[in-house]
Structure 1
Amino acid sequence: MTTEAEDRPVILWFRQDLRLADNPALSHAVETGRSIVPVYILDQGAVARPMGSASLWWLDKSLRALAASLEARGSRLILRRGDSESELRRLIDETGAGAVFMNRLFEPDAFSRDADVAHALRAEGVECKGYNGALLARPGSVLNGSGGPYKVFTPFLKALLASTTPAPALSSPTVIDTPVGLASDAIDDWALHPNRPDWSGDVDWMPGETGASRSLSIFLSGGLKSYSKGRDVPAEAATSRLSPHLHFGEIGPWRAIEQARRAGDDGRVPAAEVDKFVAEIGWREFSAHLLHAFPRMTDAAFRPEYDAMPWRDDPQSLEAWKRGRTGYPIVDAGMRELWKTGYMHNRVRMIVASFLIKHLLIDWREGELWFWDMLVDADLASNVQNWQWVAGSGADASPYFRIFNPITQGQKFDADGRYVRRWIPELSRVPDRWLHEPWNAPPEVLRDAGVRLGQDYARPLVEHSSARERALGALKTVSAARPDGD
């Protein structure tokens, strides 16, 4: 005999877990034997950092894919927009639901919001259960010998892999019983797809669970085999391209690791390459654990002395950087790739970030906010941690005095110029010898290539060596602000 509470539906609150397979909240909801109400609530006011335009583009496509998967199982995705708690209460009133199941979010604002919602609903007799469907381990579960969070990556990764065992993979349910007649927004009415202008014409992605599986399969059969070297060459398709799929929860990180390890065990991929990929997933994890433990790092330097950096207020140079008009081809190619596709190769991300912070001496937070709006894989923890890493202000960061030379970086990682020529067609006829420093090319070379500096392509905003000296001079301000004075 079942009680009335056991017959009441379960609301399945989707957020950054837009998949049916290996979804802990969904699997536990199915195990109850009760009907399930899948809902996604667009609540841009719940957090200090609402999703950027590129993320909203991805969300639009991912929700459509999730809705189709649910419909194939006899269910339906309910879409609501507004305050999360208010919309959940409205749905509880409409369905008589007795429980809300969710996969937890660990970003500071969302984590606090979830706790407040759960506390309020439990006080009214609504069961609330949260699961970890996004990370390898729950933040706070991997601690150092002093019982605090790790601030250095290598020991964190070692402890994480030694102490954490992946839960068994969960299969996708074949049937999901959902009440009929529930009101839902139409996703077209949300207008998440850009239209003024529609910049997404060159975006080559397949958002959704199927797209995540496809990206992983392509990577395992190709890029992973030479990942440690190939991932630094922006013209090569050697990276996993899993970052947006992981952020939106279209695949879980443990499943990506398990499939990579299986490829290594089968001899299809060298073990060292698998380890490198696992370490990159681990860096994503490290970022999430850091942000959860130190929420102030979204707005302030993790190492406080770096907030004394004498940043320059230079709107014109910042705008030139955003639009790919710095005069340094590898930097401009990366920024134009970002503008056109919502993505940028990892190596180039480091180069363009270093250029903004150190060559232009512009606050890293300006770049981080631009990436947040422009990247389809914008993830708060990863974005903040990676920008602070380049700025030298983060945990286990690259030293500030490590200043990328954009000329030699281009020559080393884009030696044949395929990447630069793809994104800067006006330089397509410049010989390899001069491609990454066209201002040094003889006049006849530029004439034959059809390039007029300052007209067809920008002159450099700054000269590398003098910008480097200026950046190192600014570092003295930080050194003086250190508590220990060194």
Structure 2
Amino acid sequence: MTYRVVWFKRDLRVWDHAPLAEGARLGPVLCLYVLEPALWRQPDAARQHLGFVQESLKDLQAELKHLGGRLQLAVGDAVEVLERLHRQAPFLELLSHEETGNAASFERDLRVKQWCAAKALPWREFRQFGVVRGLRERQHWVRQWEQLMHAEPAPVPELQAADVPRFADLWPSADELGLAAPEPPQRQRGGRARGVAVLQSFLNERSASYRGGISSPLSAPTACSRLSPYLTWGCLSLREVVQATRSRLDDPMLPARQRQGLEGFMSRLHWHCHFIQKLETEPAIEHHNMHPGYQGLREHDHNPAHLQALMDGRTGWPLVDACVAMLRETGWINFRMRAMLVSVAAYPLWLHWRPVGEWLARQFIDYEPGIHWSQLQMQSGTTGINTTRVYNPIKQAQDHDPHGHFVRRWLPAMQRVPDTWLFQPWLMPPELQARCGVVVGGDIAVPLVDLESATRAAKERVYTLRTDPAVAAVQGAIVKRHGSRNRSAENLSKPRNVEAPAQATLDF
């Protein structure tokens, strides 16, 4: 029997799935998902990611069965699985979406490409996001993004399942894959049905709180769309979210607050692809500073004690430690708090972005490599093209949690701290600590460093390097490759740095 293989990766849906639609148009298909132990053993993989994928695959199985198809689950190296399948029942073609993943998935795709070439077997890849493969600079990128988002979604097809024997592979446990850290008990659950429900609740109700609500960790859990994990794992297509949002904006009866919220949300959907494009264009930024002149800035000053204290939520700055506690429980915090965590790690704690990024990748249920590593570098000041952004955790607490509701929720010891000492509890006199029943240095950590002096020293080191003529000379080439273009700038030959403000990037 002649058939085609549709390879599902981070696109766990049937709606607007171009490879599935194309394969079904041409004849019988085998829908394949490969659990690859080597990828799940990477330092950015987490037990919660595996759980989300398993939940999403259950939805996908049901959807495919409803359409007349079935999902073949396999375990092993992707090339070995494809070879095993081809030996058992040769197929005509491999179809999949393009993936801009981590280095391990990139190397995997190169090996699959080599295998297909050796077999003289076509492998067609389709765009999933507004990312352009082979793009060397950003000229006309916005136009290409808009063209993709305006195009008709791929139709949901009726399927003819390929009549080939099923594999009997056993799904490994999280422990067998080395995913030791426990799952956040309150994490978002996977699957398209849940993703659609979250999208509808945001478009119809929660978007009214988007503007003004996405920065505070108190309001953000409901004000943000919470769609990011469903886009990351492909339960929803980006085009479907863009078109649904624009359709809602076309409603003349849409309340003003919702309109403002959805307009702000639309800009973030654009920036979603803008940042993934950086990793697609330059995969090395997952491991190396985007600006080569910043190599060595923090690499040789690694302080394991500082990193461990950050991961344990024992930095001594209440808002930082409360965010870590929330991450452990939910797998999510809003973008402003993410930026603050990275800023604290990069400046007063002077930690390199790579180990911090590996830890945060495991903490985030919506870990998207292209956005993640671009943002880690942006917040750490190693891109060479962005304004240095340093978030003071005390000021952030005063601005976004002025009454301490957030820190007291996630740090129980802070419930015994009087309001007067809410932002700097380590300064409480010993006699007051005794009266309140809280011990600074025990119940509440003492800050690892003096915030003001450590931040000032860090900023001076970055500024000195940034103003070095040899370092500054490379900036133009980086802007040309990675800098964003607004609509009016697209027709200009000279590249301009119109990078988005950090807080406008990923408040999904």
| TM-score (structure 1 length as normaliser) | 0.87
1:288 aligns with 2:276: yes
Structure 2 gaps, min length 5? 474-508
Q: Distance in 2 between matches of 1:274 and 1:409?
A: 25
Q: Distance in 1 between matches of 2:235 and 2:127?
A: 14
Q: Among residues 219, 241, 244, which one is paired with 1:259 in the alignment? A: 244
Aligned to 2:319: 330
Q: Report the CA distance between 1:363 and its aligned residue.
A: 0.9
Q: Which SS does the other structure have where 2:225 is aligned?
A: coil
* Range moving further from structure 2, 92-101 or 193-202: 193-202
1:465 aligns with 2:452: yes
> CA deviation digits over 1:297-335, x for unaligned, max 9?
111111222224245321111101011001101100111
Q: Among residues 195, 200, 215, which one is paired with 2:198 in the alignment? A: 215
- Shift of the 439–186 alpha-carbon distance from structure 1 to 2, 3 Å rule, reads same
Aligned to 2:215: 232
Letter in 2 for 1:52: A
1:203 aligns with 2:203: no
Aligned to 1:398: 387
Aligned-residue Cα RMSD (Å) equals 2.9
Q: Report the CA distance between 1:343 and its aligned residue.
A: 2.1
Within a 5 Å distance, the mapping from 1:261-410 to structure 2 comes to 261-266=246-251, 267-268=254-255, 270-310=258-298, 312-394=301-383, 396-399=385-388, 402-410=389-397
1:129 aligns with 2:124: yes
Q: Report the CA distance between 1:176 and its aligned residue.
A: 4.8
- Shift of the 282–44 alpha-carbon distance from structure 1 to 2, 3 Å rule, reads farther
Aligned to 2:97: 103
> CA deviation digits over 1:313-370, x for unaligned, max 9?
2111110101100110110011122223222221111111111110111111121111
1:37 aligns with 2:37: no
CA contact (8 A) 1:140 1:289 kept: no
Aligned to 1:191: 174
> CA deviation digits over 1:105-125, x for unaligned, max 9?
134744564354245325534
CA contact (8 A) 2:100 2:370 kept: no
Aligned to 1:120: 115
Q: Among residues 398, 419, 429, which one is paired with 2:416 in the alignment? A: 429
- Shift of the 80–250 alpha-carbon distance from structure 1 to 2, 3 Å rule, reads same
1:80 aligns with 2:74: yes
1:416 aligns with 2:403: yes
Letter in 1 for 2:228: S
Q: Among residues 49, 52, 70, which one is paired with 2:45 in the alignment? A: 52
Q: Distance in 2 between matches of 1:197 and 1:123?
A: 38
Within a 5 Å distance, the mapping from 1:245-256 to structure 2 comes to 245-256=230-241
> CA deviation digits over 1:400-424, x for unaligned, max 9?
xx32111110111112322212211
CA contact (8 A) 2:98 2:125 kept: yes
CA contact (8 A) 2:5 2:32 kept: yes
Q: Which SS does the other structure have where 2:264 is aligned?
A: helix
Q: Report the CA distance between 1:396 and its aligned residue.
A: 4.3
* Range moving further from structure 2, 84-93 or 472-481: 472-481
Q: Distance in 1 between matches of 2:249 and 2:100?
A: 31
Letter in 2 for 1:372: A
> CA deviation digits over 1:383-438, x for unaligned, max 9?
10111111111264331xx3211111011111232221221112123344432221
CA contact (8 A) 2:316 2:446 kept: yes
Q: Which SS does the other structure have where 2:223 is aligned?
A: coil
Q: Report the CA distance between 1:197 and its aligned residue.
A: 6.5
> CA deviation digits over 1:145-184, x for unaligned, max 9?
xxx423xxxx987545555443212343455524264113
Structure with larger RCO (C-alpha < 8 A, sep 6+): 2
- Shift of the 193–319 alpha-carbon distance from structure 1 to 2, 3 Å rule, reads same
Aligned to 1:4: none
Q: Distance in 2 between matches of 1:361 and 1:197?
A: 27
Q: Which SS does the other structure have where 1:101 is aligned?
A: strand
Q: Report the CA distance between 1:31 and its aligned residue.
A: 0.9
Q: Which SS does the other structure have where 2:234 is aligned?
A: coil
- Shift of the 341–72 alpha-carbon distance from structure 1 to 2, 3 Å rule, reads same
CA contact (8 A) 1:372 1:383 kept: yes
CA contact (8 A) 1:223 1:230 kept: no
Q: Distance in 2 between matches of 1:226 and 1:239?
A: 8
Aligned to 1:182: 166
- Shift of the 185–200 alpha-carbon distance from structure 1 to 2, 3 Å rule, reads same
Q: Which SS does the other structure have where 1:169 is aligned?
A: coil
Q: Report the CA distance between 1:458 and its aligned residue.
A: 0.8
Letter in 2 for 1:57: G
- Shift of the 139–126 alpha-carbon distance from structure 1 to 2, 3 Å rule, reads closer
Q: Distance in 1 between matches of 2:464 and 2:321?
A: 30
* Range moving further from structure 2, 266-275 or 42-51: 42-51
Aligned length: 465
Structure 1 gaps, min length 5? 1-6, 142-147
> CA deviation digits over 1:228-274, x for unaligned, max 9?
32110111121112222111111111111111222222114544432
CA contact (8 A) 2:187 2:365 kept: no
Q: Which SS does the other structure have where 2:119 is aligned?
A: coil
Letter in 1 for 2:205: G
Q: Distance in 2 between matches of 1:108 and 1:201?
A: 23
- Shift of the 364–46 alpha-carbon distance from structure 1 to 2, 3 Å rule, reads closer
Q: Which SS does the other structure have where 1:230 is aligned?
A: coil
Letter in 1 for 2:94: V
Q: Report the CA distance between 1:51 and its aligned residue.
A: 5.0
